[in-house]
Amino acid sequence: MDGYLKKLSELLQDRTPTVSVILVDTAGSTPQDRGSKMLITEAGLAFGTIGGGRIEHLAIETGQAMLSEKSVNQKTRFVEWSLNKEAGMTCGGGVKLFFEVFSTNEWKIAIFGAGHLANALIPLLLNLDCQITCLDSREEWLAKLPSAPSLELVHSNDLTKETDLISKDTFVLLMTKGHGTDLPILQKFLERGQQPYLGVIGSKSKAAVLRRELRNNGLPEEKCNEFFCPVGMSIGTNHPFEIAISIASQLVAIRDKVL
């Protein structure tokens, strides 16, 4: 057990996508006892064994297939295999295996701006299984954010240009110094399209101004409505941490619909 936990901890610390396999129960003749464990990465077996031979090969294939799946909700699987039927082994026993995926980080979030709200929101999001990128021109605000393997900090004096480095499957949240810096970044994302979530911090009045200026800049009418502003669920007060909770809730709700 100690070796298993130590190796799992190392893999999680390195943000290596990993599948844990536990031999929950056995019937008849099997090559390993209940409680046997193994860890699987994209490269193959990383630790332990649940029996060796064909049954282990099948378990590795199953684990690697789970790592290739994109849905953040498909993290566990319980299987019951006959060693003869499923694995083609001569012993007539059976096994029950529990698979669990760790650290896939398929959910990517980019936050433009490292101000007060970002400093409230990001520590909250770090408790979830996601990979966060925070971008700002102000080094002193980026320095206030916690250090974490799943948080990348980007200092840039041209945040609009940084949009080219954000993948189209990334959730994007704009909370820069103000309307003047949010607008060009927003327009770049809208022109490109296809973000699963695009939100701008602000009021309904700010949203109206943004949409008017986007239209004046030549953006088609339908594109001018493809972002959230205000952002977050309609809960709580204007306290930064309550706003952070409302935004995190909306991000999770959208994630569960699209990933």
Sorted by where each begins, the domain ranges of the chain are 12-102, 108-258
| pLDDT class of 1 with cuts at 50, 70, 90 | low
Average pLDDT over residues 159-171: 94
Whole-number pLDDT of residue 18: 92
Burial group, residue 204, by CB count within 10 angstroms (0-12, 13-18, 19+): exposed
Please indicate whether residue 152 or residue 12 has the higher confidence score (pLDDT): 152
pLDDT at residue 30 greater than cutoff 90: no
| pLDDT class of 138 with cuts at 50, 70, 90 | very high
Average pLDDT over residues 83-107: 73
Q: What are the CA-CA distances from residue 87 to residues 54, 62, 95, 98 (Å)?
A: 6, 12, 11, 17
Whole-number pLDDT of residue 26: 79
Quote the pTM value: 0.70
Residues paired with residue 79 on neighbouring β-strands, in sequence order = 97
Average pLDDT over residues 61-88: 77
CA–CA separation, 186 and 64 (whole Å): 37
Whole-number pLDDT of residue 85: 63
Average pLDDT over residues 234-254: 94
Average pLDDT over residues 130-158: 94
Average pLDDT over residues 159-186: 94
Contact of 51 with 36, CB cutoff 8 Å: yes
pLDDT at residue 90 greater than cutoff 60: no
Structure token pair of residue 185: 């970044």
Residues paired with residue 153 on neighbouring β-strands, in sequence order = 134
CA–CA separation, 199 and 197 (whole Å): 7
Please indicate whether residue 75 or residue 139 has the higher confidence score (pLDDT): 139
Q: Which residue has the tokens 């209940």?
A: 34
Lowest mean pLDDT: which of 7-11, 31-35, 114-118, 128-132?
31-35
| pLDDT class of 135 with cuts at 50, 70, 90 | very high
* Residue among 50, 48, 45, 56 nearest 1 (CA): 48
Considering the domain 108-258, what is its CATH architecture?
Answer: 3-Layer(aba) Sandwich (3.40)
* Residue among 194, 195, 156 nearest 176 (CA): 156
Whole-number pLDDT of residue 114: 96
Whole-number pLDDT of residue 186: 97
Whole-number pLDDT of residue 19: 95
SS (H, E, C) 99-153: EEEECCCCCEEEEECCCHHHHHHHHHHCCCCCEEEEEECCHHHHCCCCCCCCEEE
Residue 112 dihedral angles phi and psi, to the nearest 5°: -90, 110
